[in-house]
Amino acid sequence: METAILEDIGLTQGEIKVYLTLLKLGSSSAGPIVEKSSLQNSVVHRMLHSLIEKGLITYILEGKKRYYQATDPKLIINFIDDKKKRFESILPELISQQKSAKKNQEATIYRGVRGIKELLNKMLIIDSKEHYAYGGPQRSHDLLGDYTWLIIKE
């Protein structure tokens, strides 16, 4: 399974291992999680605490023993939405700080597929009088999808 997207939304490798292990095990005490995840006991407990804080796992107490369970993977969307709302709350301040900078940069380097997509989106926003078209070979379409053909104002 490709887990890079889970890293992209802010989970560590340890959190990912513990979460995926819990998805497979269902309700479980820490012992089987340590065993199946191949992580050290202290790391598993740290990751369990972190995932509880993020709302991605829950636990119940049976006597003095905790049994952990992964939340429905669909709830990760709530985790992402919460991050987005928190970011949006500081966005005006970030924009204000950027505008108050004394010297603007004169060049920007874009790398990789994400960089190309960001560049093309910026080019769409520019208000200008000339229009250009951007396209590429099939390989570009395979990498960029709908970003392959754009009409850009300049």
Answer whether residue 20 is part of any domain. yes
Question: Do 10 and 70 lie in a common domain?
Answer: yes
Q: Same domain, yes or no, for 69 and 113?
A: no
Rounded CA-CA distance 13/19 in Å is: 10
pTM of the model: 0.61
- CA–CA distance from 39 to each of 28, 74, 99 (Å)? 15, 25, 46
Residues 68 and 121 in one domain: no
Q: Looking at the domain assignment, is residue 88 inside a domain?
A: no
At 4-23, the pLDDT tens digits run 889 988 899 999 999 999 99
Helix 13-25 × helix 41-53 angle, to 10°: 90
Q: Is residue 60 part of a domain?
A: yes
Q: Is the dihedral of CA 22, 25, 27, 33 positive or negative?
A: negative
Q: What is the mean pLDDT of residues 39-55?
A: 94
- For residue 89, is it within any domain? no
For tokens 């997207």, the residue is 5
CATH code of the domain containing 52: 1.10.10.10
- Note whether 61 and 122 are same-domain residues: no
pLDDT in tens, 83-114: 899 999 999 999 988 888 777 666 677 777 78
Range of the domain at 59: 4-76
Domain presence at residue 103: no
Q: How many structural domains is the chain composed of?
A: 2
Q: What is the largest CA-CA distance in the chain?
A: 72
Q: Which of 32, 55, 76 is the last residue of a domain?
A: 76
Among the candidates 20, 52, 76, a domain finishes at 76
100 DSSP assignment: T
Q: What is the chain's mean pLDDT, rounded?
A: 84
Give the pairing type, strands 65-70 and 131-134. Answer: unpaired
Statement to judge: residues 18 and 65 lie in one domain: yes
